[in-house]
Amino acid sequence: MVLLAGHLDQEPNRHLVFKEKPNNMGIYIGNVANYNSNKGHITLNLNDDLKIGDTITFEKEETKYRISELMIGKKNIDYAVEGQLVTIGRMKGNINPGDKIYKLESKTLLAKAKASYTGEFRKHALSCKIKIAKNSPISITLYDKNGMKLNIASSIIPQDALRQPITKERIIMQFSRTGNSPFEFENFDIHLEDNLYLNISDLNELRRDCLEKATEFIINSYKRDIPNTVPNGVIQHSLQVLPLQSKKKISLLLNVLDINTNYSELEMVDRIYIPLKYFTLSEYANIIKNISSQFDTYIYMPTIIKSNFRNLFITHIDKALQEYDIKGFVLSNIGTFHMLEKYKEHYEFIGNYTLNIFNNYTLQAYHNLGLNNITLSPELNKQDIMNIGQTSKFRTELIVYGNTPVMTLGYCVLGKSNKCYPNCKSLCKSKHTYYLKDRLGLYFRVLPDNVQTVNTIYNSKVTSIDFSDLPINSVRIDILDENILEINNIIKTVKSEKRFEGKNYTNADFIRDV
């Protein structure tokens, strides 16, 4: 496996980051050997290639400079390579001999990146006729506007329904999950006899079989037109340009799921994220079923997954996908990609802010792993968000309200242990709310996870961001202890795209000083 991030390699990658530059941005290209402030000329011995149109910055400067004049001696050039002594023109600012210079953007690399994703990707529309009858194998016929007609035989025979019979709506929903395939279903003609039952896994298998047969048919139809430089069977396409929506979607992360809360009273919510731990606890089954039946529901994966819980979680995820209407996953670390790889084709993957996505290069790397949407890092400033939003070919989400986690511990601060033990007081299972109190008197919410013995510490202050002029597709609201009325008021404020102040928590049931 080839690792994409420099900090995951065995040796530091100087082409990815340079550790001496504040905020770790830019590639070191040399030091100022001489500076003529009157002409704005800088002389340096290049430590990396440089080209007209590249963007640079200096050690003591926050300003970005676009290279418009590049010389060797008195000769103007367009491109210089590592090791050459060059002069850069038209530079004014806080610049002194000896200052380090960093390259922020390469015009050549940006042009190559743009060429790699420009163009249009349209999914191939399919029509589908499905016949489901008692004591008979399911029969499917696929059509398209180009004259394709495929009769697909199946060995799957429906059973008599003991409880909930299969519905046309559920069949359409499962077949419509075409994921990253080049196809989409636009028309359905379903003949379904009453009171029959089908496993969801059987429907998924039928859909996969249909898409494979359609792919084979189209490849064989156009095989003669494929150039010799393209291997047989390869369908080439580029990333689709995603337009921003005038009204941004609302995503809601329920860090704490309350059994006694009626979440059907939520208003104007498009997506709900539920932490993975709640899918392992049987007492939350009914509330998850109610939420997933009313809202687009996603499993929110934890930042820490201990190795001895991996198989347990996979088992509960498989069960959850069978029992609830789950749209996808929010992934919090790169290891989760490999853990959930088998679901990639049929479920949406949303990258959490913990993936530390700071630019379009990071986006492309995660897209290659199967990422659909990304949550922007809270560490980005407004200009960074503008740069990504205006050039990105991905759907972006921004956290606009909530207490951001400041630390995740593989340790329980309540039980003072890294695992549960027989004599533990089980404070994590009580109805109390716990906080850490720092030397300034600020309270930091402690949220225990008694499944893995993991604690998350949340910031004492609530994030509140004015996003009205930001080029993003959706906004996320992170909820801890707010009730339904408070949540709905927060959503209304966010919908109106106004900034607000979050409340402070001072009525802790239990406070521990640190």
Reduce the DSSP state of residue 1 to 3 states and report it: coil
Q: Tokens 């991996």 map to which residue?
A: 310
Give the pLDDT of residue 244: 42
Give the pLDDT of residue 62: 78
Q: What percent of the chain has pLDDT over 70?
A: 81
- Residue 115's CB: how many other CB atoms inside 10 A? 10
Average pLDDT, the chain: 80
**pLDDT tens for each residue of 220-273:** 776 444 344 333 433 333 333 344 444 788 999 999 998 888 998 888 888 999
Stretch 268-297: mean pLDDT, rounded? 91
b/e sequence 468-500, b meaning 16+ C-beta within 10 Å: eebebbbbbbbbbebeeeebbebbebbeeeeeb
b/e sequence 37-50, b meaning 16+ C-beta within 10 Å: eeebbbbbebbbbb
CA dist 171 and 197 (Å) reads 11
Binned at pLDDT 50, 70 and 90, residue 344 comes out as confident
* Of 33, 36, 31, nearest in space to 20 by CA: 31
Give the pLDDT of residue 275: 93
pTM (whole model) above 0.85: no
What residues are paired with 216 via a beta bridge? none
CA dist 79 and 72 (Å) reads 10
CB-CB contact of 16 with 102 (8 Å): no
Stretch 277-302: mean pLDDT, rounded? 91
CB-CB contact of 158 with 197 (8 Å): yes
* Residue 465 predicted with pLDDT over 60: yes
What residues are paired with 365 via a beta bridge? none
* Residue 216 predicted with pLDDT over 80: yes
pLDDT: which is higher, 463 or 500: 463
**pLDDT tens for each residue of 356-415:** 877 777 777 777 777 768 888 888 887 778 877 766 667 888 898 888 888 888 777 777
b/e sequence 430-450, b meaning 16+ C-beta within 10 Å: eeebbbbeeeeeebbbbbbbb
Sign of the CA dihedral running 199, 200, 205, 206? positive
Q: Strand order of the sheet with strand 434-437?
A: 405-409, 454-458, 443-449, 434-437, 510-513
- What is the DSSP secondary structure assignment for residue 131, as one 8-state letter? E
- Domains and their CATH numbers in the chain: 6-117 (2.40.30.10), 124-224 (no CATH), 249-513 (3.20.20.70)
